Chains A and B, each alone.
Chain A
Amino acid sequence: MEYMPEFSVVRPATVAEAVAMRAADPEARFVAGGTDLVPNIRRGIVAPAKVIDLNGLEEIRKIESVDGGLRIGAAVTLAELIEDGRLRADYTGIVEAAGAVAATSHRQVGTVGGNLCLDTRCLFYNQSEWWRRSNDYCLKSRGDVCHVAPKGDHCFAAFSGDLAPALMVLGAAAEIASPSGGRIIPLTGMYQDDGLAYLLLGADEMLVAVRVPAPADGFKTGYAKSRVRGAIDFPLAGVAVGLRRDADAVVDLSVALTGTNSMPLMIEGTDALTGAPPDDAMLARLDGLVRDRIQPMSSTFSPPGYRRRVVAKLTRSLIRRLYREG
């Protein structure tokens, strides 16, 4: 029998019940597909005494068409997302990103909410109990030194979910519930660049859905990532692009990244690059905008310099592809 720490599971039937349970016990953890939380529990990285299972919340298990756009429930699985005809037609970038998450078997249960709230990752953190113990643990869990940047008191574990950037380039919003009501914020506002506290969600808050506006006519989206194990792996870096072409110019451009910082990043200032084709001059200016924002650290086996170069390459080739298709 595998070692499993003890915990009990509660199964709320409504969002209101789920957030009330969390408010009553802020140490409890939500679980949806469990493809992130269960391995972390098995490795002793987290040890919640209580787990709140979100799979019984029918209200967040559907994809609805709202105001011309989509409202995607947090407990919708990645497999359901990929198979949805509406997404396949108009939200290609989301489908490409969801299809690049782990493997078929993970995607049957892994959810949108779990992917957006995915714990940040680091080679000193996502390890077995004995591996971490023999390394004196680290700042993010039970230790007091960061092995990536030992002089500081900051954790640089990387946000590694594939979906977030694909949703961000479409201007998605996060619908958040709490016992005192709810709020809707831009998805970009749900994160901060801190490996320990990467989510700006209160202890009694839960992500219930993402709202994705309909893309403007001709706005094309795509996603590309680089990974160590080609068949299945977290992104060393991932790039989502949204682009509209008119004649020989890019007239709309959004770029968002994952895997490079402790949060997914929306690159600001891309508007200033429009009105020209994606030639070397334009791409070089974009490289500059990206370079200023990203901060890959030695939190993966591939060195930060490699991840910097890979971001630039991925972004360039994805923009060229969407421009050709557009």
Chain B
Amino acid sequence: MAKSILSLVLNGRRRDDAVADNMLLIDYLREVAGLTGTKMGCDGGECGACTVLVDDRPRLSCISLAYTVAGRRVETIEGARRGGRISRLQRAFHEKLGSQCGYCTPGMIMASEGLLRRNPTPSDDEIRQGLSGNICRCTGYVKIIESVLSAADGSVP
């Protein structure tokens, strides 16, 4: 099986690993890097649970081959903490009940983080657009949208 060296910046740290050509990014993150915060929810591209950021843009790690992020900055939910504290978005999901069982939450937060970096003050509609690839079976989405809005307008401490 052909392999190559994957050099990337993962949650701010440079890493080099040998990965097989057919390895999925989600398997690299969970099995090689040991970052199990990224979840697998479907058999390919349908649910968004596996969303991570690659160079600030949302990417589905379950349909991305690991080698394609060589030389890129990859961020997972484990990298969301800022200065020893959970991020503004994470606090907002906590305060506004944007998370129930929590399975979709890492993907929701990474997709929201990607959205806020492109558009720091999204409208309700833009949030729906930005999260359109993410499925949640618990919240009914209303609380998730409230969470993102309150992270954006700074009403969450």
Interface residues of A, Cβ cutoff 8 Å to B: 1-2, 4-9, 34-35, 38-39, 42-43, 51, 53, 55, 79, 102-106, 108-109, 128, 231-232
CA distance A9 to B62 in the complex (A): 18
CA distance A39 to B24 in the complex (A): 11
Give B99-157 interface residues, CB cut-off 8 Å to A.
111, 114-115, 128-130, 132-134
Give B29-71 interface residues, CB cut-off 8 Å to A.
31, 40, 43-45, 48, 51, 54, 57-60, 62-65, 67-68
Q: Which residue of B lies closest to A103 (CB)?
A: B133
Contacts of A79 in B (CB 8 A): 57
Q: Would A8 and B1 count as touching, CB distance under 8 A?
A: yes
CA distance A102 to B63 in the complex (A): 13
CB distance from A189 to the nearest CB of B (A): 30
CB distance from B122 to the nearest CB of A (A): 12
Q: Would B64 and A109 count as touching, CB distance under 8 A?
A: yes
Q: Which residue of B lies closest to A79 (CB)?
A: B57
Contacts of A103 in B (CB 8 A): 48, 132-134
CB distance from A92 to the nearest CB of B (A): 17
Q: Would B2 and A9 count as touching, CB distance under 8 A?
A: yes
CB distance from A89 to the nearest CB of B (A): 21
Q: Which residue of B lies closest to A31 (CB)?
A: B65
CA distance A232 to B114 in the complex (A): 18
Q: Which residue of A lies closest to B111 (CB)?
A: A105
Known: A8-B21, A43-B43, A232-B133. A38 touches B64 (CB 8 A): yes
Contacts of A106 in B (CB 8 A): 45, 60, 133
CB distance from A116 to the nearest CB of B (A): 19
CA distance A173 to B1 in the complex (A): 39
Q: Which residue of A lies closest to B60 (CB)?
A: A105
Q: Would A104 and B2 count as touching, CB distance under 8 A?
A: no
Interface centre among A1, A2, A55, A104 (most CB of B within 10 A): A104
Contacts of A232 in B (CB 8 A): 132-133
Tell yes or no: B26 within 8 A of A by CB: yes
Give B72-87 interface residues, CB cut-off 8 Å to A.
none
Contact of A1 among B31, B64, B68 (CB under 8 A): B31
- In the complex, besides A2-B24, A128-B43, 12 extra interface pairs with C-beta distance below 8 angstroms are A5-B22, A7-B21, A35-B45, A35-B60, A38-B65, A39-B43, A39-B45, A102-B133, A103-B48, A104-B129, A105-B57, A105-B59
Contact of B128 among A8, A34, A108, A231 (CB under 8 A): A231
Q: Would A2 and B58 count as touching, CB distance under 8 A?
A: no
Contact of A104 among B24, B62, B65, B133 (CB under 8 A): B133
Q: Would A35 and B63 count as touching, CB distance under 8 A?
A: yes
Interface centre among A38, A39, A105 (most CB of B within 10 A): A105
Q: Would A34 and B21 count as touching, CB distance under 8 A?
A: no
CA distance A42 to B63 in the complex (A): 9
Contact of B63 among A5, A38, A51, A231 (CB under 8 A): A38
CA distance A43 to B42 in the complex (A): 11
CA distance A4 to B114 in the complex (A): 28
Q: Would B67 and A9 count as touching, CB distance under 8 A?
A: yes
Contacts of A108 in B (CB 8 A): 54, 57-59
CB distance from A121 to the nearest CB of B (A): 13
CB distance from B136 to the nearest CB of A (A): 11
Q: Which residue of A lies closest to B110 (CB)?
A: A105
CA distance A106 to B128 in the complex (A): 15
CA distance A38 to B27 in the complex (A): 14
Contacts of B22 in A (CB 8 A): 4-9
CA distance A43 to B45 in the complex (A): 12
Tell yes or no: B97 within 8 A of A by CB: no
Could you pull out 30 A-B pairs where Cβ atoms are within 8 angstroms? A1-B27, A1-B31, A2-B26, A2-B40, A2-B62, A4-B24, A5-B22, A9-B2, A9-B67, A34-B65, A35-B45, A38-B44, A38-B45, A38-B65, A42-B24, A42-B44, A42-B62, A42-B63, A43-B43, A103-B132, A104-B115, A104-B130, A105-B48, A105-B58, A105-B59, A109-B59, A109-B68, A231-B132, A231-B133, A232-B132
Q: Would B63 and A39 count as touching, CB distance under 8 A?
A: yes
CA distance A312 to B40 in the complex (A): 39
Q: Would B132 and A8 count as touching, CB distance under 8 A?
A: no
Interface centre among A6, A35, A38, A55 (most CB of B within 10 A): A38
Contacts of B58 in A (CB 8 A): 104-105, 108
CA distance A39 to B63 in the complex (A): 6
